[in-house]
Homo-oligomer: A and B are copies of this chain.
Amino acid sequence: MATVEEESRRLEMLHAALDVIVERGFPDTRISDVAEGAGVSPALVIYYFKTKDRLLAEAMRHSEDVWYAEMQRRTEAISSAAGRLEEVVAMTCLPNRDPSSGESWAVWLDLWAQALRDPDVRTVREEFDEHFRETLRQIVRRGEAQGEFHDVDADDFAVAYSALLDGFAIQIALADPVVGPERAFDLAMRVAANELGFEWRASRAKRGSTRRVR
């Protein structure tokens, strides 16, 4: 009953909020923009989320949840550890192979900046990062178990490698002239191959592994 439509309304608003955040940036997101994007009145947005901060924090959480679920979904389908790792790197480096997740990078930068002061956002970011590291740890452990990887400290690797990917994400988000997506992808994979001791042929098709290039 109402709950279903209520929920879909909530989602519409969250997606609208994310669109605005991507377009205008977190601090300049106005609830009237979000309302317009969702096709409702500003008052209703407040009615649903009580306050602007809560709305934005929930939008962030939603965004991260969707992204993480998508990563899980994709890696599960891959059997080799190196392949799973490659998929993760592709998701963080290469521009949307799937159209669903609109520019995540921009949102990340806002997320980090916002996490400095907003406790809710800080929590979202901490959880997301920990999830991400855990994913890396598991990939490494399974890769070791399957004999694909050298033995390394999975936790150390996860911490360092997620930092590396975050750093590349910054360059990509800001469209750095020196560090494009393909180069970041390539470098990240070379580091992984070197650190974990697996073979990786750089010549392989860089992006079109499964989905179209936009």
Residues of chain B contacted by A162 (CB below 8 angstroms): 167
| CB 8 Å contact bits of A95-111 with B (1 = contact, 0 = none) | 00000000000100110
Secondary structure class of chain A's binding surface, majority of residues: helix
Nearest-neighbour CB distance to chain B for A184, whole angstroms, equals 7
Is there an interface contact between A163 and B184, defined as CB atoms closer than 8 Å?
Answer: yes
Residues from 1 to 56 in A contacting B, C-beta threshold 8 Å: 24-28
Is there an interface contact between B163 and A26, defined as CB atoms closer than 8 Å?
Answer: no
Choose among B113, B173, B187, B194 the residue that contacts A159 (Cβ–Cβ < 8 A). B187
Interface segment among A65-73, A126-134, A140-148: the answer is A126-134
Nearest-neighbour CB distance to chain B for A121, whole angstroms, equals 10
Chain A interface (Cβ within 8 Å of chain B)?
24-28, 106, 109-110, 112-117, 122, 125-126, 129-130, 133, 156, 159-160, 162-168, 170-171, 173-174, 176-179, 183-184, 187-188, 190-191, 194-195
Would you give 6 A-B contacts (Cβ < 8 Å), ordered by A? Answer: A109-B113, A109-B116, A113-B114, A126-B177, A163-B164, A165-B167
- Lowest 7 CB-CB distances: which A-B pairs, in order? A163-B167, A27-B27, A113-B113, A166-B167, A167-B167, A109-B113, A164-B164
